[in-house]
Amino acid sequence: MKPSKGDRVLVAMSGGVDSSVAAAILVEAGYDVVGCFMRLGTPGDTVAGTTLGHKGCCSLTDAHDARRVAAALGIPFYPLNFADDFERIIEYFEREYHAGRTPNPCVRCNDWLKFGRLHEYARGVGAAWVASGHHARIDEATGQARLRRAIDVDKDQTYVLFGAGGIPGVRPRQLDRMMLPIGDLTKAEVRAMAESIGLGVHSKPDSQEICFVPDDDYAGLLERRDPGRFQEGRIIDGAGNTLASHDGHQHFTIGQRRGLGVAMGSPRYVVAKDPAANTVTLGIRSDLDACSCTAHEVSWHRDPEVDWTPCTAQIRAHGDALPAKVRSTGADRIEVRFEEPHTAVATGQAVVCYEDDLVMCGGWIDAVERRQ
C-alpha cells in the first residue's frame, strides 16, 4: 500500500528541526497530519529512580517547541505520556551495563516505543501512516518496502531504525506503514526550508546525548541508582596478573584507553570484562581485533540468506560501514564475518548489514570472536 493524498499521518514531533520540517512537508503535500510528542518525562521528573536532565530529545523545552511548530502548521497536536514505558529503556540500560555489555538505549527506544507504542496509538486515531524526521529513505523498487540510506550520508540514521523490518514472533514489520519525508534532503536543506517557512527551530542544535544521561556519566547514573552493585575488583593483564584495583567494572567500556589508572609505558586498552569475577582485562590494541560476531533478535528487511552473502556491516550509529559477509543461522540469528579485523565490536551493540545503501538486516551482538 502506498500513501495517498488525504491519508491521515501521525508525525512524531520531537521539537527539533528535522521532525518539524517532516510535518511541514506532509502538510504541504495534502495529508491529514496529526502531530504528537512522546513525553518520556520532564526535567526533574523521576523515572525508574532516575532524575531526568534538561538536555536530550525529550525535554520540556522540546515539548513546547513541538507544540509551537504544530500551531504554526495548523495541525492538531497531542502529547503522549510514555513515561511508564520509558522505565523499560532505563532498566534495560542498567541491566546491560551491569552485565558487562555496551547498550544502545536510543535504538531500543525506537524498537520498543516508536515501532511499538507509537504505531499502536496511530491505529487508535485512525492514522494509516506514522512519520518521523529521521534521515533515512524508504525504497519500494523491489515491491517491498526497504530502508535506504539518506541522501545526507553524514546524517544517515538507518542504523537506529533497523528494527522497523520486524522481528519474527516479536514485532511485525513497520516499514510498510512508515513515512520518512526528509530522507532526500541534506541537513542544510532541512534548516533552510525551516527558516523559509518561518519555523523558529531552524537553528536549533541537534541532540547529542542520551536524554536520561545528560552529563554522559553512565557509571555515575548506575551508581546513584544502585550503589551496592559497585564493588572493588582487579584490573589484570591477559595472563591474569593483577595490575591495579578498580571501584567497579561498570566504570570501564571495551576499547577504553584513557582513565584506566594504570601506567605501563605504552598504550593499553580494555579488551575484556568479567562481571562475575569483577575483573577488567587490559591489553594492546591488536587484542581488540574482532574477526566476526553473532547477533540475535534479528530484523530482516529482505529474505534471509543462509549462505554467506557479501555486505557492509556497521556497528555504531555513525561508524564506518565495514566490508563483511553475513548469513542467517536461525530464526532470529545471524553471523557476520569482517573482511578485515575491526577493533570497535562489543557485545550489546547493534550490528546492521547493508547491500549498497539498502539495509539487509540488523541484530544485537551477543558474542564476538577476537583474533588469536
C-alpha grid cell, residue 225: 541508582
The residue among 298, 306, 300 whose CA lies nearest residue 364 is: 298
CA 241 to each of CA 234, 249, 253, 290: distance values in angstroms, whole numbers, following the listed order: 9, 17, 20, 23
Active-site residue numbers? 109, 211
Distance CA 46, CA 136 (A): 33
Q: Are 10 and 130 in contact, with CB atoms under 8 Å apart?
A: yes
Q: Are 290 and 343 in contact, with CB atoms under 8 Å apart?
A: yes
Q: Give the residue carrying C-alpha cell 549498497.
A: 356
Q: Which residues contact 214 (CB under 8 A, 6 or more apart)?
A: 53, 54, 55, 56
Distance CA 365, CA 367 (A): 6
C-alpha grid cell, residue 301: 528487511
Q: Are 245 and 262 in contact, with CB atoms under 8 Å apart?
A: no
For 181-198, b/e burial (b = at least 16 CB within 10 A) is bbbebbbeebbebbeeee
Phi, psi of 338 (to 5 degrees): -90, 140
* CA 101 from centroid of its chain's CA atoms: 15
